[in-house]
Amino acid sequence: MKFTLLGCGRWGSFIAWYLDKNGNKVTVWGRKGFPEIENLIKTRKNEYVTLPETIDLTTDLKKAIDASEYIIISISSQAVRELMQSVKQISGYQDKKFILCMKGLEETSGDRLSTILIEEGVNRNNIAVWVGPGHIQSFVNGIPSVMIIDSYNSELSLFLANYLRSNLIRFYQGQDIVGSEIGAASKNVMGIAAGLLDGMGYSSLKGALMARGAREISRLIKACGGNELSAYGLCHLGDYEATLFSKYSHNRMWGEAFAKGEKFDKLAEGVATSSALLNLASQVNVELPITQAVYDVIHGNITKEDAIEVLLARENVKEF
């Protein structure tokens, strides 16, 4: 099969490597002038993978869209709407299948990323999401993981889950795209919270963070029309080890650096997602105390020490 990757950062370049390794024809697009694609064109490698000559690299968006039936998007979640406004200028884009391989919500609206594609003219039945735990550094060393393909279209998600699986990634077919997207996005906020705890020397609180974080997000998923149990599956709780504990987690590392007053210069999607989640929660009248604390700390509204005190001093309520 033919796949096009829109995006060539660490995850996009890995997916290209993975699909090529499994015998598919792959085209990778990056925006002209961006260092990621320019470096790949020049050297065919980055700090994570080396891309074989069988993978086509281009800065021509029309060429990339025309090359494949399946379009995989792996960019910053905050850039999805802008990208789709360019994609929809290309004739025939409506006939493509789009697979979203990033975890986030639009900060200004709280929208899920699949909602953005629908708003930009993509048929909902042609949209799937690829989420779940995994780090490129582990994958390229042969360490397997288990992930999810979810969709509004059960036939599409089942086909992709079966087709994309290998001895490196085992896919489950998701049953709740609302929960899969919200759960996957919000786990990055919990990753920042975990990093803050690590940086403060409070790592023993991660158990409470895992239990209460998943419960907090389950309420939001339910209020948005999804299945609250999705928060306890691979999209969220099942991704906690890779996000709350791993040395490869950008969100955890960002939170730890912040707590120590240090700088971390790689993308941490949870920063924008904390704001997006609060936006979404306000629309459905759900309280997110942990997310609120993370947002307040990283925006200087409260100290990290006071945030812990506020959370511990909340009115006594039943656990569930």
> Tell me: the pLDDT tens digits for 141-200?
999 999 999 999 999 999 999 999 999 999 999 999 999 999 999 999 999 999 999 999
What is the secondary structure of 12-39 as a DSSP string?
Answer: HHHHHHHHHHTT-EEEEE--TT-HHHHH
pLDDT value at position 267?
82
- What are the structure tokens assigned to 282, written together? 């306000």
Indicate whether 8 and 153 sit together in one domain: yes
Query: Among 139, 173, 207, where does a domain finish?
Result: 173
Q: What is the mean pLDDT of residues 7-18?
A: 96
Structural contact between residues 40 and 51, judged by C-beta atoms closer than 8 angstroms? yes
Q: Is pLDDT of 68 > 90?
A: yes
pLDDT value at position 119?
96
pLDDT value at position 210?
97
CATH code of the domain containing 74:
3.40.50.720
Strands (E), the chain: 2-6, 25-29, 56-58, 70-73, 97-100, 127-131, 145-151, 169-173
Indicate whether 8 and 106 sit together in one domain: yes
Q: How confident is the model at residue 315 (pLDDT cuts 50, 70, 90)?
A: confident
Q: What is the pTM for the complete model shown?
A: 0.96
Q: Is pLDDT of 317 > 80?
A: no
What 3-state class would DSSP assign to 149?
strand
Q: Please state, in angstroms and as integers, the Cα–Cα distance from residue 175 to each residue in 61, 112, 133, 182, 226, following that order.
A: 32, 16, 17, 13, 10
Q: Which domain holds residue 79?
A: 2-173
> Tell me: the pLDDT tens digits for 245-300?
999 999 999 999 999 999 998 889 999 999 999 999 999 999 999 999 999 999 99
Indicate whether 15 and 125 sit together in one domain: yes
Indicate whether 192 and 108 sit together in one domain: no
Q: Which of 28-37, 47-56, 104-113, 258-267 has the weakest average pLDDT?
A: 258-267
Indicate whether 65 and 123 sit together in one domain: yes
Rounded Cα–Cα distance for residues 77 and 64 (Å)? 20
Q: Position of tokens 């989640």? A: 277
Indicate whether 96 and 215 sit together in one domain: no
Indicate whether 198 and 150 sit together in one domain: no
Indicate whether 26 and 156 sit together in one domain: yes
pLDDT value at position 188?
97
pLDDT value at position 265?
87
CATH code of the domain containing 225:
1.10.1040.10
pLDDT value at position 145?
97
Q: How many Cβ atoms are within 10 Å of 291's Cβ, its own excluded? A: 28
Q: How confident is the model at residue 318 (pLDDT cuts 50, 70, 90)?
A: confident
Rounded Cα–Cα distance for residues 245 and 266 (Å)? 17
Indicate whether 261 and 236 sit together in one domain: yes
Average pLDDT, the chain: 96
Indicate whether 196 and 305 sit together in one domain: yes
Q: Please state, in angstroms and as integers, the Cα–Cα distance from residue 289 to each residue in 27, 41, 255, 302, following that order.
A: 43, 45, 17, 13
Cα-only R_g, the chain: 19
Strands (E), 251-299: none
DSSP assignment, residue 166? -
Rounded Cα–Cα distance for residues 253 and 242 (Å)? 12
**133 within some domain:** yes
Query: Among 173, 198, 221, where does a domain finish?
Result: 173
Indicate whether 280 and 156 sit together in one domain: no
